């Protein structure tokens, strides 16, 4: 396993991090889908015993059970002392300043530890950023650090680059968790976020390196491009190598649900050439061609130009089309459906659409937006957890 220095934290972490948002489920006849603890323990302990030193969880993962499962697994054999635990508290559960402390204390109990290595303000987004500043949430985290309850302060972010840049420059964060992969170099925070965080001396962890597992199953057009290279690699390795190539990245967090996935990834991240700068110019061009092939596989020709927004009923029109197209690209709707669940809960799903038609004449691609929104909704709706 390769390890990298983690910004100004002084930590050295495994290049492969284990995400605890996709732990194995029970398969009960009554339909319940809680975490299968025995299988989860086995995965976590195997990871910790075989070079993985970075574990990522959060307050809300697995219906608030993920932290407890991780803590229970690492307690055995004193594994906790040999790993870095990163967890997160979302702004949405910080109704009062007192809640912030109570949530942290509960997390410490679940994790069965006296301290958290890095504590993140979870899922900063542009709509909540102003309120976070007004309530000075950072100061609460600083109190925890002064008391030794947490050792380093960071944040996770979903959204566009301009707000991300502002967040980075507002406070002396020690770490950030951002979404990047070979498809998102010009989406979400974009590739520029990696360079901006590094410039601000903020350690970088990457989430969604495989786009929720979508990049593991390459469609034929993409597989043919990968197969044209002399060295034969699976689609997942191409996606991981795209990120390993950046020296600025500290760790790449992957949610692994099976022992097969875990062992494959550990073996992959232990290869001698899985190092910063590992991609040749030819390999970079292959990844660019693969990205273009992925982007050509769409059924709703939305370019996410944003001309249709803002919707008077708050529907995330480009987001719905993007998730639908991702499901088509990867031939798998699991992750798009899960993402759409959060869109719905945030009041931005297609269910809010009244088919007023205000968006349609604004679309340069001449998409019948109300009609295609229903197409997307039909494919995306139904995920619950």
Residues 200, 155, single domain; the answer is yes
- Among the candidates 286, 301, 327, a domain finishes at 286
End-of-domain residue from the set 268, 286, 304: 286
This prediction has a pTM of 0.85
Strand partners, 175: 154, 203
**Integer angstrom CA distances of residue 93 from 111, 230, 278, 312, 362:** 18, 51, 41, 28, 37
Asked if residue 355 and residue 276 are part of one domain, the reply reads no
Q: Does 195 reside within a domain?
A: yes
| Amino acid 289: pLDDT | 96
Residue 331 sits in the same domain as residue 277: no
Residue 296 is assigned to a structural domain of this protein: no
Tell me, yes or no, whether 108 and 232 share the same domain: yes
Q: Which residue has the tokens 């191409």?
A: 238
pLDDT at 30 > cutoff 90: no
Are 213 and 148 contained in the same domain? yes
**Pair 34, 118 in one domain:** yes
Domain hosting 134: range is 3-286
Mean per-residue pLDDT of the chain: 92
> How much of the chain, in percent, has pLDDT values that exceed 90?
75
Q: Examine residue 295 and state whether it is found in any structural domain, yes or no.
A: no
Number of domains in the chain: 2
Are residues 8 and 127 both part of a single domain?
yes
pLDDT band at 32 (very low <50, low <70, confident <90, very high): low
pLDDT of residue 214: 85
Residue 203: inside a domain: yes
Is 297 within a domain?
no
Question: Are 239 and 335 in the same domain?
Answer: no
Same domain, yes or no, for 215 and 352? no
What is the pLDDT at residue 125?
84
CA-wise closest residue to 240 among 289, 273, 203? 273
Q: What's the whole-number mean pLDDT along residues 159-180?
A: 94
Q: Which tens digits make up the pLDDT trace of 328-369?
A: 888 889 889 999 999 999 999 999 999 999 999 988 788 999
- Please tell me whether residues 209 and 347 are part of one structural domain: no
Cis peptide before 177 (omega within 30 of 0): no
- At residue 187, the pLDDT reads 83
Residue 172 and residue 49 share a domain: yes
Residues 361 and 255 in one domain: no
């Amino acid at each position: 396993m390769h390890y990298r220095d983690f910004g100004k934290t002084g930590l050295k972490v495994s290049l492969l991090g284990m995400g605890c948002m996709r732990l194995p489920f029970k398969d009960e006849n009554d339909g319940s889908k809680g975490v299968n603890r025995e299988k989860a323990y086995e995965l976590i302990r195997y990871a910790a015993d075989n070079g993985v030193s970075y574990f990522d969880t959060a307050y809300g993962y697995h219906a608030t059970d993920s932290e407890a499962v991780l803590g229970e697994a690492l307690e055995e054999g004193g594994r906790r002392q040999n790993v870095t635990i990163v967890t997160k508290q979302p702004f949405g559960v910080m109704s009062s300043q007192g809640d912030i402390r109570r949530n942290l204390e509960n997390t410490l109990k679940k994790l069965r530890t006296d301290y958290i290595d890095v504590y993140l303000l979870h899922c900063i987004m542009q709509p909540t950023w102003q309120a976070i500043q007004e309530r000075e949430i950072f100061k609460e985290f600083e109190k925890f650090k002064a008391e030794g309850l947490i050792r380093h302060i960071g944040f996770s972010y979903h959204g566009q680059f301009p707000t991300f840049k502002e967040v980075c420059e507002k406070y002396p964060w020690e770490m950030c968790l951002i979404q990047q992969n070979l498809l998102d170099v010009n989406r979400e925070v974009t590739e520029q976020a990696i360079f901006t965080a590094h410039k601000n001396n903020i350690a970088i962890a990457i989430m969604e390196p495989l786009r929720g597992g979508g990049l593991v199953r390459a469609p034929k057009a993409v597989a043919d491009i990968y197969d044209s290279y002399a060295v034969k690699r699976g689609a997942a390795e191409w996606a991981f190598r795209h990120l390993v190539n950046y020296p600025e990245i500290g760790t790449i967090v992957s949610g692994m649900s099976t022992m097969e996935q875990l062992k494959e990834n550990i073996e992959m991240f232990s290869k001698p050439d899985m190092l910063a700068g590992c991609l040749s110019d030819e390999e970079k061009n292959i990844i660019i061609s693969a990205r273009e092939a992925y982007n050509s596989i769409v059924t709703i020709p939305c370019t996410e130009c944003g001309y249709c927004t803002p919707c008077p009923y708050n529907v995330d029109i480009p987001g719905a089309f993007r998730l639908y197209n991702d499901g088509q690209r990867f031939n798998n709707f699991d992750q798009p459906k899960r993402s759409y669940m959060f869109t719905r809960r945030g009041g931005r799903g297609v269910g809010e659409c009244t088919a007023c038609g205000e968006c349609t004449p604004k679309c340069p691609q001449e998409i019948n937006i109300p009609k295609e929104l229903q197409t997307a909704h039909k494919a995306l709706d139904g995920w619950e957890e």
